[in-house]
């Protein structure tokens, strides 16, 4: 069996499932100003790897849990990821005109609407999570734990904290630990959340949850270092953005501190460490998660 | 008994309780970039009437429910209100330099940090709600209902939808119904949520919840019309902002459509209607809520 091509099919299939669910995520009968709805959907449906929602589904599957019931949470994490990109692209933040080859939200809908669309997507993520209880009957305490963890991993000491540190540190990062703080919170936190959320849906034990967290921490950091590497040496056509853009913006990256070769080694080492942590917990069906870890390490965009 | 002065004491006392809880709301041991924390706290502790959190507490009290357990939810709604003000004041939105006599968040911390502080406060509101379960043992299904309702009343078809409609309609509102849509969602929705959240904490029946919603819808709209009136004829010193600022910005207000006198009548009529709806539900202790409705109608700032 060709594991890689099977994994590609799996990713394509699950990304489609997630996109179908995202299409339905903002109820059509809700009275929402048309431009706000369009602005939210423009960015939500703008493609992307759908990595975080797929991790939610794969984690639920790894524990033999109900995959279907994980879909609302999968949608929620994509809403959070999307809102963070919309706000990140704003003139006051990174001031980007394009993302994935498409105009950024504020270039199409204006800054005010982009701010509001981001706010609305962030808020709507919590609505989506609540549907895991309402539609699929997942235990209320588990669903509540997911909302609480989302507010932690995506909030001031999670993703937003990482963004703030990134912004504040743009000129003056001098230590690798500072960069790791930013990478951990900007990137790993949502990945850890995604895995744990899938675990909650499937009723994971505390030991299993810890393994999912450790796995997420490792592959999240590996993912971000790989991003830094691709930004220096990747293929512009595949990436959909100019390479060396970080370098031009004088953004401090992982290779800046330890070089490209050592960074590549670090990606491999973190991936292995994450996989070991997962294997040690002896989940019923860990294969997809293990394959995803390898896929992230080997990706070229 | 002098009801008015007693109510003033009550409001002062509860505002203090809310502020003490807000001070503690972002755990000190959480690793948060210092400037992000300061920016969040600057706006959260910038004063204001604390009306929405007091309505949460008063609604719980009206049903004879546990007041203490309502505090985390009271804090949550103030975080939502605060984030909406921070984002509203941004240059891309209303572009305000001052609020309540203090520099707006982005004037002190910069636009990027103001956007992030708003995002973090919005996210943190859901963390705070979860504490009603974790710390005070409120039933998980009730607490989950509160998070779901917050995401509805504060989201795309609630407050954010109202903001978007307000922004889109700035030049072209020609019908009173359009203005009422904006007022309902920009203002009433968070007030309805506050009352319902207090109801959930106290284990209200569906009939009681409906009465709280109806009460909130009426006093919310009355509150906003009163705001429009005060903006035209209020005392600048008491309001802390120039009067006729809406008129100068050519903002369409309620008196614009039906005149000041009819607007004042409408405030009174809505307040009575709200009080009737509440009285009909025969809550155990409705007095504070009834007094608050009168207070909002009579306020001069």
pLDDT in tens, A243-290: 666 665 667 889 999 999 999 999 999 999 999 999 999 999 999 999
Shortest alpha-carbon distance between residue B141 and chain A (Å): 6
Per-residue model confidence as pLDDT tens digits over B73-125: 999 999 999 999 999 999 999 999 999 899 999 999 999 999 999 999 999 99
Q: From B118, B180, B179, select the one nearest B154 (Cα to Cα).
A: B118
- Answer yes or no: is pLDDT of A233 > 90: no
Region B132-139: what's the mean pLDDT?
A: 96
Which residues on chain B are in Cβ contact (under 8 Å) with A150?
123, 126
Cβ distance A120 to B32 less than 8 Å, yes or no, reads no
What's the confidence (pLDDT) of residue B253? Answer: 87
Residue B4's pLDDT is 57
The answer to which of A18-32, A224-238, B104-118 has the lowest mean pLDDT is: A224-238
Highest mean pLDDT among B157-161, B173-177, B254-258: B157-161
ipTM over 0.85: yes
Q: Residue B87: list chain A partners with CB under 8 A.
A: 115-116, 119
Q: What angle do CA A286, A290, A293 make, to 5 degrees?
A: 145
**Residue B1's pLDDT band (boundaries 50, 70, 90)?**
very low
Are residues A160 and B36, on separate chains, in Cβ contact within 8 Å? yes
Task: Output the six-digit token pair for B65.
Answer: 């429910």
- State which residue of chain A sits closest to B148, comparing Cα positions: A127
CB-CB: which of B30, B150, B151 is closest to A156? B30
Backbone angles phi, psi at A193, to 5 degrees: -55, -45
CB pairs under 8 A between A and B: 167
- What confidence score (pLDDT) does residue A174 get? 83
B99 beta partners: B102
Least CB-CB distance to B33: which of A93, A111, A165? A165
Q: Which residues are within 8 A (CB) of A9 and not within 5 positions of it... i.e. 6 or more apart?
A: none
Rounded to an integer, the average pLDDT of B43-66 is: 95
Number of domains, chain B: 1
Output the pLDDT for position A245: 64
Residues of chain A in contact with residue B28, where contact means CB-CB under 8 angstroms, are none
Pick the residue from chain B with its C-alpha nearest to A83.
B119
Which structure tokens are listed for B30?
Answer: 């959480």
Residue B55 pLDDT > 50, yes or no?
A: yes
Interchain CB distance below 8 Å, B116 and A164? yes
By Cβ distance, the residue of A93, A140, A157 closest to B140 is: A140
Portion of chain A with pLDDT greater than 70, in percent? 93
pLDDT in tens, A38-78: 999 999 999 888 999 999 999 999 999 998 999 999 999 99
Task: Quickly state the pLDDT bin for B16 (edges 50, 70, 90).
Answer: very high
Nearest to A119 among B129, B160, B165 (CB): B160
Q: Which residue of B has its CA nearest to A162?
A: B33
What Cα–Cα distance (Å) separates residue B104 from each residue in A25, A62, A92, A163, B46?
Answer: 34, 48, 16, 21, 10
Q: What does pLDDT average to over chain B?
A: 93
For residues B173-178, average pLDDT: 88
A173: confidence class by pLDDT, cuts 50, 70, 90: confident
Span B202-214, average pLDDT: 98
Average pLDDT over residues A209-226: 96
Out of B93, B123, B148, the one facing A160 most closely (by C-beta) is: B123
Residue B252 is predicted with a pLDDT of 81
Given this model, what pLDDT does residue A242 score? Answer: 64
Asked whether the beta carbons of residue A156 and residue B112 sit closer than 8 angstroms, the reply is no
Q: Which two tokens stand for residue A95?
A: 């001031």
pLDDT given at position A243: 65
Q: Taking residues B265-288, what's their average pLDDT?
A: 97
**Residue B98 β-bridge partners:** B103
Separation in Å, CA B289 to CA A106, B37, B64, B69, B216: 42, 34, 13, 18, 10
Residue B198 burial class via C-beta count within 10 angstroms: exposed 0-12, middle 13-18, buried 19 and up: buried
Does the beta-carbon distance from B148 to A130 stay under 8 Å? yes
**Rounded average pLDDT over A125-146:** 97
A130–B155 C-beta distance less than 8 A: no
Interface test with A, best of B91, B119, B140 (most A CBs within 10 A): B119
Per the listing, tokens 């989950």 go with B144
Residue A185 has what DSSP assignment?
I
Facing residue for A123 by CB, picked from B33, B120, B160: B160
Residue A160 is predicted with a pLDDT of: 98
Flag if B160 and A36 touch (Cβ within 8 Å).
yes
Per the CB < 8 A criterion, the answer to whether B270 and B276 are in contact is: no
* Residue contact A126–B150, C-beta within 8 A: yes
**Residue whose tokens read 């509102």:** B173
**CATH at B82:** 1.10.600.10
Q: What is the pLDDT of residue A1?
A: 43
Q: How far is B93 from chain A (nearest CA, A)?
A: 5
Residue numbers of the domain that contains A218: 3-298
CB contact under 8 A, B119 and A160: yes
Which residue of B152, B164, B184, B200 is the best one to mutate when testing the A interface, meaning the one whose CB has the most A CBs within 10 A?
Answer: B164
């Amino acid at each position: 069996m060709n594991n890689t091509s099977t994994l590609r099919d799996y990713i394509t299939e699950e990304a489609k499932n997630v996109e179908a669910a995202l299409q339905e995520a903002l109820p059509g009968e809700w009275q929402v100003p048309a431009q706000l709805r369009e602005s939210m959907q423009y960015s939500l449906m703008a493609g992307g790897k759908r990595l975080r929602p797929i991790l939610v589904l794969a984690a639920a599957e790894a524990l033999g849990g109900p995959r279907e019931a994980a879909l609302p949470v999968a949608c929620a994490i994509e809403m959070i990821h999307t809102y963070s990109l919309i706000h990140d692209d704003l003139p006051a933040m990174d001031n980007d005109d394009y993302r994935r080859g498409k105009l950024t939200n504020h270039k199409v809908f204006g800054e005010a609407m982009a701010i509001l669309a981001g706010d609305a997507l962030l808020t709507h993520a919590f609505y989506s999570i609540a549907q895991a209880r309402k539609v699929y009957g997942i235990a209320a305490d588990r669903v509540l734990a997911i909302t609480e963890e989302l507010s932690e991993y995506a909030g001031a000491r999670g993703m937003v904290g990482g963004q703030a540190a990134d912004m504040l540190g743009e000129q003056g990062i001098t230590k690798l630990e500072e960069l790791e703080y930013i990478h951990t919170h900007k990137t790993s936190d949502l990945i850890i959340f995604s895995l744990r959320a899938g675990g909650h849906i499937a009723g994971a034990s505390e030991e299993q949850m810890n393994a999912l967290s450790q796995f997420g921490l490792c592959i999240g950091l590996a993912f971000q270092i790989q991003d830094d590497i691709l930004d220096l040496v990747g293929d512009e056509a595949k990436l959909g953005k100019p390479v060396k853009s970080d370098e031009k913006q004088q953004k401090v990256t992982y290779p800046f501190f330890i070089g490209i070769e050592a960074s590549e080694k670090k990606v491999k080492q973190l991936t292995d460490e994450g996989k070991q942590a997962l294997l040690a917990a002896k989940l019923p069906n860990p294969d997809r998660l293990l394959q995803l870890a390898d896929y992230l390490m080997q990706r070229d965009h």
